[in-house]
């Protein structure tokens, strides 16, 4: 008898297609274990797997052929904060392909949440294919780190999924950039803080 898994509600915004835009992204290690190193005197001292994670983030724009920019990031002992600017807009596939277009015939600025900026309201509301969106960027980084850990017998595991916040304006961008820059200095106040 086949086992039916319960449907998980997606944390992604239904009014946004995630194949273009600016995002604040957080992903964590499993159980918030301190795989990536430690913070000493307000500076992150990365472990081998932490250094590899930073390298993969830096290489993302090259790997993604400049469709993606990561202007700022920090690898903390058990999580990663990054700003992802996804420049590529993938055309919506038709219903005969793996990802069907979302019907936008009745979508207007009136039925998009109030807290969405004017720019986002005017953006396309279709969903992009899974090979050309924010999730594929995160998946690429996470899988490269996991592969490296497996090949070098380094104990390591990611927490499933990731958190993202759509950056709607320059004020939010400045606030998030400041948060990322100061995160190591405020490690003991971080919600993911774990004592070694």
Residue 182: predicted pLDDT? 94
Residue 68: predicted pLDDT? 87
Phi-psi region of 36 (alpha: psi -120 to 50; beta: other; left: phi over 0): alpha
Residue 92: predicted pLDDT? 46
Supply the DSSP symbol for 92.
P
Owning domain of residue 83: 21-92+120-188
Residue 132: predicted pLDDT? 66
The total number of structural domains that make up the chain: 1
**Block means of pLDDT (10 residues each) for the chain, length 196 residues?**
55 49 94 96 96 94 81 96 80 38 34 36 37 82 96 95 92 95 91 83
- Is 108 inside any structural domain? no
CATH number of the domain that 41 lies in? Answer: 3.30.70.1290
Residue 107: predicted pLDDT? 32
Residue 193: predicted pLDDT? 85
- Is 182 inside any structural domain? yes
Distance CA 91, CA 101 (A): 9
Residue 20: predicted pLDDT? 63
How much of the chain is helix, strand and coil, in % rounded to 5? Answer: 35, 20, 50
Which contacts qualify for 65-73: CB closer than 8 Å, 24 or more apart?
A: 68/137, 71/177, 72/177, 72/180, 72/181, 73/180
Residue 70: predicted pLDDT? 92
């Amino acid at each position: 008898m086949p086992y039916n898994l319960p449907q998980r509600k997606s944390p992604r915004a239904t009014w946004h297609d995630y194949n273009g835009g600016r995002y604040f992204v957080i992903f964590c290690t499993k159980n918030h274990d301190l795989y990536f190193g430690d913070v000493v005197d307000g500076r992150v001292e990365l472990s081998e797997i932490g250094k590899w994670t930073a390298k993969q983030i830096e290489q993302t724009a090259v790997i993604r052929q400049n469709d993606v920019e990561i202007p700022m990031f920090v690898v903390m002992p058990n999580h990663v904060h990054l700003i992802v600017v996804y420049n590529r807009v993938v055309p919506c596939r038709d219903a005969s392909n793996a990802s069907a277009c979302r019907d936008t015939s009745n979508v207007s600025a009136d039925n998009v949440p109030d807290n969405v900026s004017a720019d986002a309201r005017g953006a396309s509301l279709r969903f992009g294919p899974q090979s050309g969106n924010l999730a594929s960027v995160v998946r690429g980084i996470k899988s490269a780190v996991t592969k490296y850990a497996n090949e070098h017998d380094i104990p390591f595991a990611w927490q499933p999924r990731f958190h993202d916040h759509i950056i709607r304006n320059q004020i939010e961008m400045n606030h998030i950039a400041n948060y990322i820059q100061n995160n190591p200095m405020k490690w003991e106040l971080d919600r993911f803080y774990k004592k070694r």
